[in-house]
A and B are shown apart, each in its own frame.
Chain A
Amino acid sequence: MNTSRHKFILSIITAAGLLAAAVRPADAALKVGDAMPDFAHLELEGKLPDSLKGKVVILDFWASWCLPCAASFPAMDQLQKKYGDRLVIIAVNVDEKKANMDAFLKKHTVAFTVVRDGKQKVVAEVAPETMPTSFIVDGEGKVRYLHNGFHGAETEKQYVTEIESLLKRTP
């Protein structure tokens, strides 16, 4: 085999490699141990809680077309009622149409904070692996636990265990 053929094959392999890298799923941008994004600089529709310092936060990404999200809402509402001011739940909706979110919220009335990421900028930054994805953040603003999806009673049990452990650490 001559040199030009080698170069030719090598260039094909390189191009294929670059292409494979381009279509490869991206790793989740927000991970356990990372600091929670600063929402003040991000364009979210809806009112966010004034201060999150010293509170355990569940940051949940959801959509109206996602059935597990619908299942997670009553569970999170129960958690909000159970822990009151010590827990802040921020549910970030990623629907393209606000009307879909509104229709969903009419069916699923909740006591926790719901905001909308209509331009999908925040969700692109956080890059959750599935819908829903929730991040449990400690009182210092660090992500401590990550839940990909909602798996009913199993996830509810994990939520309680994790929230309790973080509340114990929070003065």
Chain B
Amino acid sequence: MKRILILSCAATGLILAGGCANVKPWQREHLADYTMRPDRDPLRTAQAEHIWFSREEANGGGGVGGGGCGCN
């Protein structure tokens, strides 16, 4: 039973991880679009940061690695 559970967990993990893909630098047109920026609305950004800071005592770290246009 335990073995089946481990095996099914591993299989699920592999299936999910199989969905990972490297977006090549020349394929990042849509990621580079302005609408993909999380900070495109300054008011919304300020509100979200206020909420994180006041409720979770968290600040910064809003950047997302691997996103954006992949330039330079």
Chain A contact residue count (CB 8 A cutoff) = 34
Q: Does any Cβ of A come within 8 Å of B41's Cβ?
A: no
In the complex, which residues 57-76 of chain A have their Cβ closer than 8 Å to any Cβ of chain B?
A: 61, 63, 65-69
Main secondary structure of the interface of B (DSSP, over half): loop
B18 touches A130 (CB 8 A): no
A130 touches B33 (CB 8 A): no
The smallest C-beta distance from B43 to any residue of chain A, in angstroms, reads 24
The smallest C-beta distance from A126 to any residue of chain B, in angstroms, reads 9
B22 touches A131 (CB 8 A): no
A120 touches B72 (CB 8 A): no
Q: Does any Cβ of A come within 8 Å of B3's Cβ?
A: yes
For A20, give the chain B residue with the smallest CB separation. Answer: B17
When A66-B71, A149-B71 are in contact, do A131 and B26 touch as well, CB less than 8 Å? yes
Interface on A for B, CB 8 Å cutoff? 8, 12, 15-16, 19, 23-26, 61, 63, 65-69, 94-96, 100, 120, 123-124, 127-133, 148-151
Interface string of B52-72 (1 = CB under 8 A from A): 000000000000000001111
